Amino acid sequence: MIGANDVINPAARYDKTSPIYGMPILDADKAANIIIVKRSLKPGFAGIDNEIYYNPKSYMFFGDAKGAISKLVEAVKAQ
Active centre residues (catalytic): 6
For 15, left (φ over 0), alpha (ψ -120 to 50), or beta?
beta
Give 53's contacts (C-beta < 8 A, 6+ positions apart): 36, 41, 60
DSSP E strands, 16-70: 34-38, 58-62
